[in-house]
Each structure stands twice: as structure tokens, then as C-alpha cells.
Amino acid sequence: MISQFNKADVKIKEIIHDSMEQYHIGLKENSSSRSFLGFWTTLEILTLKNKDLSHFKVKERLKSVIKMNSIHEYQIERLYNLRNKLVHTGKDSEISQFDRNLMKSYVEVLFQYFMFNFSKYSYSEIGTIYDLLQKDISYLEKNKNLIDEVIALKSPK
């Protein structure tokens, strides 16, 4: 993992560093709700959350790297709803140690995925990859062919 970090460009190293800081906060925090938020913030950092990217998109980006089944779907939706309740109403009593640990588990999967699959790309390339991961294979194949045709049209003859 260190070799991936060393090869990453500066912006990606910052993302990795910032995500590890928030992960550490999540680990060290005694309160389940504050720990949960530390892990959620880690998720936001690793999914390139900014003012233009909604929390809904953060959730969808997480789903795009997890081999989804109905249980994962339910869990991620539940974590997303818990996050919204906590942030918008301050209801932290609904976040259990189980929820905190579940959030931690998903963040760990995403962190490994990010390190091994994304750290070699630029920030904008990672954003594009996240968006493309949410598409089905037929959509990607169709557009791959279109892109190949556009390249052929633009190539000098």
C-alpha cells in the first residue's frame, strides 16, 4: 500500500492523508455518533465529495465499488439515513455501536479499493471513473464504440 501512496500525485496523496486522519478520528472517538461521523467524513473524502457532489452521490459512489446484494443495499441506505438524521436533527441516540462498526467496515473496503485501483489516476480521472462505475456494461460498451468512432473521425488521415 505504501508503494501506491508513493506513486500517487500530490492531490491524491492529500486525499489519502485526509481520509486517514478522519479514519483515525473515527477509531479514537468514544461516542458512537461522533465516531460514525468520522467514518462518514472518510467516505466523503474518498468519494471526492465537494460542494457540487450531493451526499446521495457519495452513497451511490460507495455502492459502485461494493459487489452489491440486497443486504448491502439495505445497509448502505440505512447508514445514509442515519447520517442525515444525525446531521439535520442531531439525533445521535439512533446510532449504535453496530452502526458505527458497519460504517467503519464499508470505509475500510472503500479505502483499499481506492488505494489499489484509483491512486494511480488524477483527481478528475477518479471522478470520471466513479461516474462510469455506476453505469451498466451495455451503456459502457455502447459509448466505448462511440468514443472510438469520434477518435477515428478526429484522427488525421
Residue 57 CB partners (closer than 8 Å, separation 6+): 47
pTM of the model: 0.85
> Which ranges in the chain belong to alpha helices (H)?
2-7, 10-28, 32-46, 55-65, 70-89, 97-113, 123-133, 137-154
Query: If you search the block for the grid coordinates 457540487, which residue do you land on?
Result: 52
What is the mean pLDDT for each group of 10 consecutive residues in the chain (157 residues)? 74 94 97 94 95 89 89 93 90 86 96 92 94 91 89 85
